[in-house]
Amino acid sequence: MKDPVVRLQHVARAYRTGAVTIPAIRDISLDIAPRVFTVIVGPSGSGKTTLLNMVGCIDLPDSGQIAVSGQDVLALSDNTLADFRARHIGYVFQAFNLIPVLSAFENVEYPLLLLDIPAAERRRKVLAMLAAVGLEAQANQRPNELSGGQKQRVAIARALVKEPALVLADEPTANLDSVTGAAIIALMRQMQESFHTSFIFSTHDERLMKEADQTFTIRDGMLVP
């Protein structure tokens, strides 16, 4: 394999709620190939979101090592880590995580504001991305005025707009009808081919599983060989 885009070594993460400890990821080591579609499958509760959150640098493991694009992310300070994430990682959250007071346009624009991109260029990129996901007409609507599938498409547009090297997408087609789902998969494939983006998906969607260049199955927080 070319240098992996993500390398996990003996990563473990448990959630502690009161006296109860839930081992979500027990001991996972894996290398994710760059510039391809990697799919993570596994039953509900197997640890997919927990894993993606750690790769996305929004959660830390209790133990183990995580390297993203060769960078040991656990060695970075909070500020450097936030900057690294803003520049290199796009994240499509399972629950979308759109900002409720912002319109669709403003939600997609937000990551570009963090990167100090000038207004005219921001506008051009946001409009192009909203068109790519078929939401030109909804640009001024807020999340509570959008359907589930439309919110999901805003979340996808927000993750892709800065053309990050790595996109993590947690069930990105779960709420989409088959035509829109296929269009979104085609859009991501096109990005991967044009910009050599690395994509990591969790999914239950057969169509997306079929697109995988590399597949990992997890169960009870462990890789299934």
For binding to Mg ion (CB under 5 A), which residues are involved? 48-49, 94
SS3 call for 25: strand
Q: Do 150 and 53 touch, CB atoms closer than 8 A?
A: no
Choose the contact partner of 46 out of Mg ion, ligand ATP, none; CB within 5 to 8 A by kind.
ligand ATP
Interaction with ligand ATP in 17-46: which residues (CB under 6 A)? 17, 22, 24, 42, 44-46
Q: For residue 78, how far is the Cα from the chain centroid?
A: 20
Nearer to ligand ATP among residue 13 and residue 125 (C-beta): 13
Token match 């053309």: residue?
163
Nearest distance, CB of residue 24 and Mg ion, angstroms: 10
Q: Measuring CA to CA, which residue among 41, 40, 45, 7 is closest to residue 24?
A: 45
Nearer to ligand ATP among residue 50 and residue 150 (C-beta): 50
Nearer to ligand ATP among residue 4 and residue 42 (C-beta): 42
Alpha helix ranges (H) inside the chain: 48-55, 78-88, 104-114, 119-132, 148-160, 178-195, 206-210
Nearer to Mg ion among residue 105 and residue 201 (C-beta): 201
Instruction: Determine the residue with CB nearest Mg ion.
Output: 49
Q: In angstroms, rounded to a whole number, what is the distance separating the alpha carbons of residues 167 and 164?
A: 7
Interaction with ligand ATP in 104-123: which residues (CB under 6 A)? none
Nearer to Mg ion among residue 171 and residue 211 (C-beta): 171
Nearest distance, CB of residue 110 and ligand ATP, angstroms: 24
Which of residues 50, 138, 198, 203 is near ligand ATP by CB under 6 A? 50
Nearer to Mg ion among residue 40 and residue 146 (C-beta): 40
Choices 47-55, 123-131, 150-158, 173-181 (CB under 6 A): range interacting with ligand ATP: 47-55
Count of CA atoms in the C-beta half-sphere (13 A) of 160: 31
Alpha helix ranges (H) inside 161-201: 178-195
Nearest distance, CB of residue 49 and Mg ion, angstroms: 3
Q: Which residue pairs from 174-178 have beta carbons closer than 8 angstroms and sit at least 24 positions apart in sequence?
A: 174/94, 174/203, 174/204, 174/205, 175/148, 175/149, 175/151, 176/149, 176/152, 177/149, 178/207
Site residues (vs ligand ATP, CB under 6 A): 15, 17, 22, 24, 42, 44-50, 94
